[in-house]
Amino acid sequence: MIHTIAIANYRSLRDLVLPLGQLNVVTGANASGKSNLYKALRLLAETAQGGVVNALAREGGLESTFWAGPENISRRMQLGQVPVQGSPRQKAYRLRLGFAGDDFSYAISLGLPKPSDSAFALDPEIKRESIWVGGHFRPATQLVERENGVIKIRTERHWEVIAQHTRSFDSLFGEIADPVKTPEIVSLRDSIRQWRFYDHFRTDLDAPARQPQLGTRTPVLHHDGHDLAAALQTIREIGDHQALDQAIEDAFPGAKLNIVIRDDGRFAIELNQHGLLRALSGLELSDGTLRYLLWVAALLTPRPPALMVLNEPETSLHPDLLPALARLIIRASSVTQVWVVSHASRLIAALEEAENCHSIALIKELGQTLIAGQEMFDQPSWRWPDAGK
């Protein structure tokens, strides 16, 4: 389980350290930083997929994503006694992302390259990466260190250089993959790759989830939901089919879900609803009904990930469906760590009834995202490996 997420200098997240639980509910007003937090998590996940630099480039590059306020916010600025203004930078531009987990912790620092004539002179570079044991970084607990192009691992007696020319846009997870010599790198990479993100499913008339699709065993619903019918059938055959039936009954009393398997191998969804004389096809379902079925397939996965992140799952759902959705999310949190970003007060209230729910309310002050009610000594202990640089 991840105990702490830390982000520095990413958009409104100037210096944010969040404690996490098994079920985390992130709330806040519009523009408080919820979307930035979600995007930062996606960036962190991209480190294990080899795409963190490309992902930053798609957001406009480091200059666009870097914290736009002053390097330091003084107490007098906070009190409104002096205007908010910048000063000459004392430290290099560094966008930092990190987390602390049960077994290993990880941090990455990205910055701008040295001036050059290259056409890619504005591409972000990975300046430093670290893997250590325990939640709080100390030099004695560090197992792997990457500084610019050099990667070192700790052996019993000394540090050993295992790579000297790592490309600035490649994470150590993509460069080192020896399960015998560097098991911590492989273990952490595989764990991060299991993180699962679900944002906005398509439910328009042409949405793939409405159409019959070629079906194969699908223990994990794709993030766009196109394989919905196959995912639901997989739950019925190798997952918790009773939980599937209960989830349908919970939301639509008297309804029955059918997966129609055609002669050409394509799977299609149908829903028999109480009072109707025939089943409704995927093309006939309302946006809310289809979206609920997508959440059922995602949350009842027979292959639960290490972390599942749901961004505004209430979208297009009638408020009466939110308690049923909350029960699905709470059930999923018993087997995987769940992160929910939500605006819906009814969903939030239902989730907060769970004993393992950890609520995180975001606010914004002077342009930076903060956790409501978090004082200096409330935040988890966290130290960046390249602090002071």
Sign of the four-CA dihedral 29, 23, 8, 95: negative
Answer whether 135's CB lies under 8 Å from 105's CB.
Answer: yes
Please tell me whether residue 189 adopts helix, strand or coil conformation.
helix
Task: Say if residues 295 and 328 touch (Cβ distance below 8 Å).
Answer: yes
Q: What's the rounded Cα separation, in Å, for the pair 303 and 208?
A: 22
What pLDDT is stored for residue 387 in this prediction? 79
pLDDT of 123 over the 90 cut: no
Q: pLDDT at residue 377 above 80?
A: no
Q: 34 — phi, psi (to 5°)?
A: -60, -45
pLDDT tens by residue, 162-197 = 999 999 999 999 999 889 899 999 999 999 999 999
Question: How high is the mean pLDDT of the chain?
Answer: 93
- What Cα–Cα distance (Å) separates residue 49 from each residue in 55, 133, 173, 194? 11, 22, 8, 11
C-alpha to C-alpha distance for 138 and 118, rounded to whole angstroms: 37
Going by pLDDT thresholds of 50, 70 and 90, the confidence category of residue 378 is confident
Tens digits of residue pLDDT in 234-262: 999 999 999 999 999 999 999 999 999 99
This prediction has a pTM of 0.92
> Which pLDDT tens digit goes with each residue over 218-236?
999 999 999 999 999 999 9
What local confidence, expressed as pLDDT, does residue 389 receive?
65
Q: Is the pLDDT of residue 54 over 70?
A: yes
- For the chain, what is the radius of gyration of the CA atoms? 23
Given the DSSP bridges, would you call strands 337-341 and 23-28 parallel, antiparallel or unpaired? parallel
pLDDT tens digit sequence for 15-51:
999 999 999 999 999 999 999 999 999 999 999 998 8
pLDDT at 121 over 80: no
Q: For residues 24 and 259, give the distance between their C-alpha atoms in angstroms, rounded to a whole number.
A: 33
Distance between CA 191 and CA 167 in Å, rounded?
23
Extended beta strands in 221-295, E state: 256-261, 266-272, 280-281
DSSP string, 133-185: ESSS--GGGEEEEEETTEEEEE-SSSEEEEES---TTS-HHHH---TTT-HHH
**How does residue 388 score in pLDDT terms, banded at 50, 70 and 90?**
low
Give the whole-angstrom CA distance, residue 119 versus residue 127.
20
Residue 346: predicted pLDDT: 97
How distant is the alpha carbon of residue 374 from its chain centre?
22
Residue 68 has a pLDDT of 86
> Mean pLDDT, to the nearest integer, of 130-141?
93
Which range (87-96, 156-165, 310-319, 372-381) has the least confidence? 87-96
d(CA 337, CA 321): 23
Q: Which of 113, 137, 126, 142 is nearest to 44 (CA)?
A: 126
Per-residue pLDDT at 211 = 95
Strand partners, 148: none
- Residue-level pLDDT at 324: 98
pLDDT tens for 309-318 read: 999 999 999 9
pLDDT value for 343: 93
Per-residue pLDDT band for 376 (boundaries 50, 70, 90) equals confident
Cα separation, 154 vs 161, in Å, equals 9
Q: Could you state, in order of their start, the residue ranges of all structural domains in the chain?
A: 2-22+29-195, 199-304
Burial state string for 132-167 with b = 16 or more CB within 10 A and e = fewer than 16: beebebeeebbbbbbbeeebbbbeeeeeeebeeebe
Q: Which long-range contacts (CB under 8 A, 24 or more apart) does 275-282 make?
A: 281/210, 282/209, 282/210, 282/211, 282/212, 282/228, 282/229
Is 18 exposed, middle or buried, given 0-12, 13-18 or 19+ CB atoms closer than 10 A? Answer: buried
Q: Are 62 and 111 in contact (CB under 8 A)?
A: yes
Instruction: Give whole-number Cα distances, 268 to 165, 209, 212, 359, in Å.
Output: 50, 9, 4, 38
Contact 217, 234 (CB under 8 A): yes
What one-character-per-residue DSSP string does 47-102 give?
Answer: TTTT-HHHHHHHTT-HHHHB--S-S---HHHHTTSS-------SS---EEEEEEES
